[in-house]
A and B are shown apart, each in its own frame.
Chain A
Amino acid sequence: MSEIKPSEAASTDDSAEETDWAAAKAFFDNLKTYKPRPPKPRYAVTIAVSSRTLFNMVAERKIYEDEGLEKYVAYQQEHESEPLKPGAAFPFVKALMTVNTRLRELYPDSEELFDIVLMTNNHAQVGVRLINSINHYDLTIERFCMTGGKSPIGYLKAYMTNLYLSKDAEKVTEAIEEGIAAATMFMPETEAETKLSDTQLRVAFDGDAVLFSDESEIIVKKHGLDSFFEHEKEFENKPLAQGPLKCFLEALGKLQRKFYEKNERMNCPIRTFLVTARSAASSGARVLKTLRSWGLEIDEALFLAGAPKGPLLQKIKPHIFFDDQMFHIEGAKELGTISAHVPYGIGQKYHKGKLIEQPEKKK
């Protein structure tokens, strides 16, 4: 998968880049009311969110589907002073802002921050309502792309995106194929019993086909669990290949270390969780050794040995949980966890252990 950020650009591009940067800095420094200025993309951890993940636009979406684009845009324009309600990615975005505040306190001159970009293929006129809604909740989102129907994939790359969240599985799949960490977000079906943390960003990851490649999952699906256990024991010391979210975990780890360096380990506002169906006894070692070989830390590793993930996630209360299998996503949603599906690997061809009959691909 791709590096966290691309290598240095050519020197002529650099000076143009610096001019744009300096002009933006001047703009934000001169604002009458203080607003934190967005970081330099090259150094930031860039999270791109779609409008439907940031805000709840279910009703509006229905208008689009039933009455068409023109009626939908007109509706949005008529209601543009009414703020939209929060969507699935909203708590995650608020948690990112909390981390940024802590980072700015400790490192006032650093550009190593989260940068939140609104990436939508909505029409620009709908954008007015989106901007008004962002203002209503005072979210620190200053960068956006409203592509008026065109694919956002090129812009994801242009912004050096580290993670893309959308409701559209096709766009997410395309992003992953282009080497960008991405996931399709789902609202939980029930209200979580207690609120999510507002002082700590909590991110939960599945292991196989999310942080790691799907190589071991292929063995389970094709040869069964016993073969899988044997294989994992035999290759315990051989690191697994990377999965689509590995670089995002790496980016989180880099920011965590900035807190550790200032003696804030006990009070770190980022906490990561591995929630895997692997068992500690038989197949867990390989996972931990792989992470170690990558130089990555994960705060808590939870081996479920096949038990359902839902109840455990209820206790963890992450702002987002990434898994490649819809079966686990559904289980998490039912019990109130905000889930994000990573459409990668062999898991996409199976549902609850059975091969899905693929319909003829439409031309």
Chain B
Amino acid sequence: MASTVQNTDVKQKDADRAVVVAVTSREVFKSGPDDGGEILEIDESHLLLKLLHRVNERLEEENPEEPLLFDVILITTDSQRQQQSSRIISSTKHYGLEISRFCFASEDDFAESLQTNNVQLFLTTDRNEASQAAQKGVLSALLDQRVAISTSDQLRVMFCEDAVIQPDSGHTPSFAAQMGEMRRRFRLSDSPLSFILVTLHGGRDRCADSLLTLRSSGLSVDEAYCLAGAPRGPILSVLQPHFMISISSSGLEK
């Protein structure tokens, strides 16, 4: 049985306007031996939380009453972690992480919990988890493994037509619209948030179509790369996206 708990140390976000992002506890806290100690060791991937928090800080600098913020939920997706609920809560408070709610679920019901918590974006390194969530209609993105070592202080979100995680075409446009609105709170340069379009296999017209589709959904991406079959590894190492959202290429066939 899944349960949701509020983090009383953190101000709760606007339920209508905030962008609810779920991150798994596996990404934030290292699983170590159950030595009975209270505080869990924090994983380098918590850098992602710092970047989300930084966007919120900059948004509130522009407008202290800003309702369009990231609302981060920490979710457990396996029963073992589910058992550690009190340690997860105390560790979060210990490190002062800006997590507004905890959701304690297991393999069987985490996808449903994402739905009940109105999660608009689910971030994980686990492809299976991402697929399961996507099947339940939750927009999912793969966290780049390199997010731990990235030195960027800018949250870099990549849109790409990689078919590994089937995109839910229903949700991407509305997510893009929210992200577009958030992006417009900042100037073109010196933004804590950057949106990147990568076309892996198609040619320039495919990339132009995706650019315009995202633009008409309300998001003007900052950077665009068309690889047209060039190996993606070297380019992605320079790009350093933090996570990747799959966009449908099927609707763009000429």
Spell out A's residues near B (CB within 8 Å): 9, 13, 16-17, 20-21, 23-28, 31-32, 35, 37-38, 40-41, 69-70, 73, 123-125, 127-128, 131-132, 134-135, 141-150, 154-155, 157-159
Report yes or no: B188 in contact with A70, Cβ–Cβ below 8 A. Answer: yes
Report yes or no: A146 in contact with B224, Cβ–Cβ below 8 A. Answer: yes
- Tell which of B208, B220, B233 touches A16, judged by Cβ atoms closer than 8 Å: B233
Closest-by-CB residue of A relative to B206 is: A27
**Given known A-B contacts A20-B229, A20-B230, A155-B235, A146 and B205 have beta carbons under 8 A apart:** no
Report yes or no: A20 in contact with B223, Cβ–Cβ below 8 A. Answer: no
Interface SS majority for chain B: mixed
CB distance from B230 to the nearest CB of A (A): 5
B2 is an interface residue with CB less than 8 A from chain A: no
Name, among B197, B227, B231, the residue most crowded by chain A CB atoms within 10 Å (CB to CB).
B231
- 16 CB contacts below 8 A, A to B, read A20-B200, A20-B201, A20-B229, A24-B202, A25-B229, A26-B201, A28-B203, A37-B203, A69-B187, A124-B220, A131-B205, A135-B204, A135-B205, A145-B225, A159-B230, A159-B235
- Tell which of B201, B223, B231 touches A147, judged by Cβ atoms closer than 8 Å: B223
CA of A187 to CA of B205, assembled, Å: 29
B189 is an interface residue with CB less than 8 A from chain A: yes
Closest-by-CB residue of B relative to A154 is: B238
Closest-by-CB residue of B relative to A117 is: B230
Note all chain B residues with C-beta closer than 8 A to A20. 200-201, 227, 229-232
The 7 A-B residue pairs whose C-beta atoms are closest, nearest first, are: A24-B229, A158-B234, A154-B238, A124-B224, A148-B222, A23-B201, A17-B231
CA of A310 to CA of B233, assembled, Å: 45
CA of A132 to CA of B209, assembled, Å: 11
B182 is an interface residue with CB less than 8 A from chain A: no
CA of A32 to CA of B235, assembled, Å: 29
Closest-by-CB residue of A relative to B227 is: A143
- Tell which of A28, A69, A132, A159 touches B189, judged by Cβ atoms closer than 8 Å: A69
B254 is an interface residue with CB less than 8 A from chain A: yes
B225-246 interface code vs A (CB 8 A; 1 in, 0 out): 1111111111101100000000
Note all chain A residues with C-beta closer than 8 A to B235. 145, 155, 158-159
Report yes or no: A124 in contact with B226, Cβ–Cβ below 8 A. Answer: no
- Tell which of B187, B188, B225, B231 touches A144, judged by Cβ atoms closer than 8 Å: B225
CA of A41 to CA of B227, assembled, Å: 10
**Given known A-B contacts A124-B211, A127-B211, A134-B204, A148 and B223 have beta carbons under 8 A apart:** yes
Report yes or no: B188 in contact with A69, Cβ–Cβ below 8 A. Answer: yes
CA of A132 to CA of B231, assembled, Å: 25
Note all chain A residues with C-beta closer than 8 A to B211. 124-125, 127-128
Note all chain A residues with C-beta closer than 8 A to B221. 124-125
Report yes or no: B230 in contact with A123, Cβ–Cβ below 8 A. Answer: no
CB distance from A334 to the nearest CB of B (A): 36
- Tell which of A23, A24, A73, A128 touches B208, judged by Cβ atoms closer than 8 Å: A128
CA of A25 to CA of B254, assembled, Å: 16
B58 is an interface residue with CB less than 8 A from chain A: no
Report yes or no: A27 in contact with B205, Cβ–Cβ below 8 A. Answer: no
Note all chain B residues with C-beta closer than 8 A to A69. 187-189
